[in-house]
Amino acid sequence: MPLRPEEPLPPRRNPNSGRPLLLSPEDQQRPPHHEGYKSEPTPWWTSQTRPAHQPGSKRTEPMKLSATVCCAILLIILILSGLILLLVYLSNRPHSPYFDISAATLNTASLDMGYSLNGDLAVVVSFTNPSKKSNVDFSYVMFELFFYNTLIATEHIEPFIVPKGMSMFTSFHLVSSQVPIEMTQSQELQLQLGNGPVLLNLRGTFHARSDLGSFMRYSYWLHTSCSISLNSPPSGYMRARRCITRR
């Protein structure tokens, strides 16, 4: 039966319209796209995952830079302070005081029972401070008298101060009473008392301090050793001496 011209044609039925579509796993995971929009492939340089933006990283970089600058400034200050202290110390470093025996007299010297020594040595010593910038404070002064290697007398001196550029004299006695000595030393002493000279050794230990200001004090130990040559008593005056003082 022919159709009328004004009547539209009936829609053609798709034989597969009633059947469900079978999709592959790739097509199932692929998101659907709307008509009118054409999907474009993602470039390989944008397909990589970009790192998330971390605002704290930019904030810590200035803190690290400021901490480094502060440490460098402190290190420079410490180095400069050490150099200044070293220059001040070298420019004001005190010279070691001088020690000398001004006079010595052997008043008595005798042997009891051939090995016990009795004696009396009068000594005048001088301490000279060569520094012109600081005084020297002697807080400990000890003298020891030896005959060869045998200690025969000791004497302790009270503390004193030697002003800058000046000398101080002090006198004392070294007394020996019933000091036992070896037989060889006893024979040698008898020869020296008979023919002269008598040889003795005076050793001193001093603790000194130089004040370079209210904040700088320089303390040190001094050790002196003096060889003394004396006449026999009763005159017993000093014929020669030689002193060496070390720190």
Please work out, in degrees rounded to the nearest 5, the angle formed at the alpha carbon of residue 196 by the alpha carbons of 193 and 200. Answer: 80
The answer to whether residue 46 scores a pLDDT higher than 80 is: no
Report the percent of the chain where pLDDT is more than 90: 54
Q: Is the model's pLDDT at 138 over the cut of 80?
A: yes
Task: Read off the amino acid at residue 94.
Answer: P
CA 137 distance to own-chain centroid: 24
Beta strands in 68-115 (DSSP E): 98-112
Strands 116-128 vs 150-157: parallel, antiparallel or unpaired = unpaired
Q: What is the pLDDT of residue 67?
A: 85
Q: What are the pLDDT digits (tens) for 139-176?
A: 999 999 999 999 999 999 999 999 999 999 999 999 99
Alpha carbon distance 236, 123 (integer Å): 12
- What distance lies between CA 194 and its chain's CA centroid? 56
Query: Per-residue pLDDT for 72 more than 80?
Result: yes
pTM: 0.66
Q: Beta partners for 110?
A: 118
